[in-house]
A and B are shown apart, each in its own frame.
Chain A
């Protein structure tokens, strides 16, 4: 049952991903992208990562998609954006297929052998996912977490510099 469900969602995800690239209108592409994001959220649920699934829906399918749609509509893309960019598409297809075959080969042959961490199933059940992630962020990964705030600051400053008419 779960396997069938997985393949069903995977099919939807891949088809929507394909449509993101193929759609003529940018709005349709964006909507197909939302679909892909939702499918990914489903995968997270199936991997017993409900927190990630919620974040995926809230941040990606929600906030980021709204921004993308806003940008598309504000820019009012003309005929230029509807042109098909088929430059070198054959080579790109060959290269992507090669990468796909490689990745599938390595992952099929490879094994996930990571050491079992301190976070056991029992701990997840008793403490809850979100608490554990929060704890890890503020203890073990405190520095990367703080660096991420600088990253966002830099991105905001950069966006303002590039977008403002005269700084």
Chain B
């Protein structure tokens, strides 16, 4: 059956035009600027245009009109079927002190796994340098670490003033470089986690080799004072990026999860963004500390101060990750404090 096309278009075109205008407006303004009547009207227009599409497809099969109505319906569908308000206000402080640590704890198993992989890498790198001194040159990618640690310490401790020149550029270079590495660690999780595991392991190998090299040379205190102030934040940040990579890898593999891969990925995408966002914030802090504190040594910067600051940072970081965002409540029957995440 072919309907009267002229009459149909004359009757329905005002509806399509009104829907088109509303869709353009929605693209420009959030829903907050619409009142209830306008939203109801929008819903009605979208439903009516959908019905027109069905009508035109079954009764007329007019290609141009069908393409036009499909474009209207597809645009309206995306807006109407949306479950969450895209204009929801982002609260950065709440996100960092509550959402980020909660997400970290939700995927704690992946973090522990990232730590284990890095530790195995450390043992491998440390062992290689311990048993084969020539392995150092092959393992360490940075040429400034190829020399004798004692000579470096002697040279560093010869400086008698703190130079501020170049520190701002150095800190931003560290922040951006480390953030890019962290993103790569996360992104490689798409290879069923294998890429993230390899990068974490390799990172561990370098770290282990540096630690072993300085310990063998008897420069343990220098090493601790050098690495701890920024490493206490930077290394956990890279491990959290590895955690995110393993979360992504886990969703790809889907062990013990009956959902489809598509659904598994859909579930973890917000968590990946939260984790990598938190990592970026931590790396900004680590970059500042590495540039403005870690590179200054005795006599101008006493080692005990640097080590103390590093220890405090480490304790604060893991207290924050372990406790922040938890809700404490008293048990009814006694005075024992109960702690838990709101979503637990």
A and B co-occur in one complex: no
